[in-house]
Amino acid sequence: MKLLSIHRLSVSRFKLPVLPAILAAFLTVILPVILSGQILACTMLHCARAEEAPVPLIFDTDMGNDCDDALALAMIHALQSRKECELLAVTITKDHELAAPFVDCLNTFYGRGHIPIGVCRNSGKTPDAGKYNQVSKITDNGKLRFEHDLLSGNNAPTAVEVLRRTLAQAQDASVVVVQVGFSTNLANLLASPADAIAPLSGRELFAKKVKLVSIMAGAFAPIPNDQGVLGEHREYNVAEDIPSIKKLVELCDVPILWSGFEIGLNLTYPHQSILQDYRYVTHHPVAEAYIAYIPPPHDRPTWDLTSVLAAVRPDRGYFELSNPGTVTISDDAISRFAENPQGKHRYLILKPAMAERTREALVQLSSQPPEHCGSSQPAPNHAR
Ligand SMILES: [Ca+2]
Ligand SMILES: [Ca+2]
């Protein structure tokens, strides 16, 4: 008993002075070390982010053939406002003179109407007007609803000229090209000779300046046909210009990241977002384009948006990637992938568990208001 009580006493004596000492040591020595470590880590993270240059990006689009091109361009502007990318130029593969004005209209809406636009004239690729590019022509009381100064693609330079000039001015191995239409422009660029703009051939220029092509094309999983039977899929961007995508695959010396048809198909854009998230202005060119293309309620696949997200935010776990390999395109527009450790191609994989988070990122980015919205300032003067 005595021993026990002595023991108890010694324990309580031990506790009384030692616990506050431990607490004091924790507060004065250990906690500051932890906090400073965290602050240091945060500072390093912040610095790393701040020093990380925005991804220089070229957007090559068949604007007007489906509304995902418009959503994808809106996303690029949001990512540029977040300093995650810089849109260097837009080139167009839809051979109709209203595609370029609609692109300029969107760029101007987001305060960047000065961005160069190049067109593919007389290619004969989808020469119809499309369902929404005429949104750029809508007037209210005699004034354009969506201000812009490129009123016809006939007034724009060719895509090859814009691509050559943009790449010639870029840093080596820096540019990401996001191609979400046909491969017509890139094939023409890769076949272009040296000229007054650059002493390199198109292929040399591309290999020197481009670090990645992020392309929405092909299919890398079985796709249901009209009867619901799974099989190989002749994807639209491939089928519309088979010789050009074959040329791209053959002559492109930099990695290509493929977003197959199945990715956007399994990530549909919620039409509720079109009805609700773009109401920060009375008229929104992206929402009006979507509605002109196919009115809600319809959840359109996000094909082209996925190629933007994968290009600008590659490390955020939105997608998994295939092993390296090589894609080949058949004469009847089927894309096939063969694994090969030396291959320069990978394709995106969407696991069901990732879908909701990835979809929400696409929705939030494409519906993000422009920098000048919410302030009393109009869009900057250089916007046109
Ligand atoms: Ca303009
Ligand atoms: Ca497209």
Is 268 buried (19+), middle (13-18) or exposed (0-12) by CB count in 10 A? Answer: middle
- In Å, how far are 28, 120, 121, 244, 280 from 96, measured between CA atoms? 70, 9, 8, 19, 31
Express each pLDDT in 234-292 by its tens digit: 999 999 999 999 999 999 999 999 999 999 999 999 999 999 999 999 999 999 999 99
- Which residues are CB-contacts of 361 (< 8 A; sequence separation ≥ 6)? 309, 313, 316, 318
Ligand closest to 150 (CA) is 1
Express each pLDDT in 174-228 by its tens digit: 999 999 999 999 999 999 999 999 999 999 999 999 999 999 999 999 999 999 9
Q: What is the pTM of this model?
A: 0.86
What residues have a C-beta under 5 A from ligand 1, the ion?
104, 113, 149-150, 384
How remote is the CA of residue 208 from the centroid of ligand 2, in Å?
A: 26
Average pLDDT over residues 36-55: 53
Average pLDDT over residues 89-116: 98
Write down the CATH number for the domain with range 55-383: 3.90.245.10
pLDDT at 373: 79
One-character DSSP codes across 250-269: HH--S-EEEE-HHHHHTSBP
How remote is the CA of residue 127 from the centroid of ligand 1, in Å?
A: 22
Percent of the chain, pLDDT > 70?
84
Q: What tokens does 235 get?
A: 């994807």
How remote is the CA of residue 178 from the centroid of ligand 2, in Å?
A: 11
Average pLDDT over residues 345-361: 98
Smallest CA-to-CA distance from 305 within 33, 61, 35 is with 61
Express each pLDDT in 296-319 by its tens digit: 999 999 999 999 999 999 999 999
How remote is the CA of residue 304 from the centroid of ligand 2, in Å?
A: 6
pLDDT(11) > 90? no
pLDDT at 374: 64
Which residue's structure tokens are 């692109």?
103
How remote is the CA of residue 182 from the centroid of ligand 2, in Å?
A: 8
How remote is the CA of residue 292 from the centroid of ligand 1, in Å?
A: 23
Max Cα–Cα distance, the chain, nearest Å: 105
Ligand closest to 261 (CA) is 2
In whole angstroms, give the CA distance from residue 190 to residue 159. Answer: 12
How remote is the CA of residue 42 from the centroid of ligand 2, in Å?
A: 39
pLDDT(13) > 50? no
Lowest mean pLDDT among 241-250, 285-294, 336-345, 375-384: 375-384
Structural contact between residues 310 and 319, judged by C-beta atoms closer than 8 angstroms: yes
How remote is the CA of residue 325 from the centroid of ligand 1, in Å?
A: 40
How remote is the CA of residue 104 from the centroid of ligand 1, in Å?
A: 5
- Sorting pLDDT into bands at 50, 70 and 90, what band is 372? confident
Beta-bridged to residue 268, according to DSSP, are 301
Angle at Cα 351 formed by Cα 349 and Cα 354, nearest 5°? Answer: 115
Ligand closest to 71 (CA) is 2
pLDDT at 206: 99
How remote is the CA of residue 106 from the centroid of ligand 1, in Å?
A: 9
pLDDT(170) > 80? yes
How remote is the CA of residue 113 from the centroid of ligand 1, in Å?
A: 4
How remote is the CA of residue 41 from the centroid of ligand 2, in Å?
A: 41
The H or E element spanning position 303 is helix 303-312
pLDDT(21) > 90? no
Torsions phi, psi for 215 (to 5 deg): -125, 135
pLDDT at 52: 81
Q: Is the pLDDT higher at 331 or at 29?
A: 331
pLDDT at 361: 98
pLDDT at 380: 56
Ligand closest to 306 (CA) is 2
How remote is the CA of residue 308 from the centroid of ligand 2, in Å?
A: 12
In whole angstroms, give the CA distance from residue 217 to residue 252. Answer: 15
How remote is the CA of residue 143 from the centroid of ligand 1, in Å?
A: 16
pLDDT at 10: 36
Domain coordinates of the chain in residue numbers?
A: 1-52, 55-383
Ligand closest to 70 (CA) is 2
Q: Is the pLDDT higher at 378 or at 81?
A: 81
Average pLDDT over residues 114-142: 98
Smallest CA-to-CA distance from 202 within 254, 258, 251 is with 251
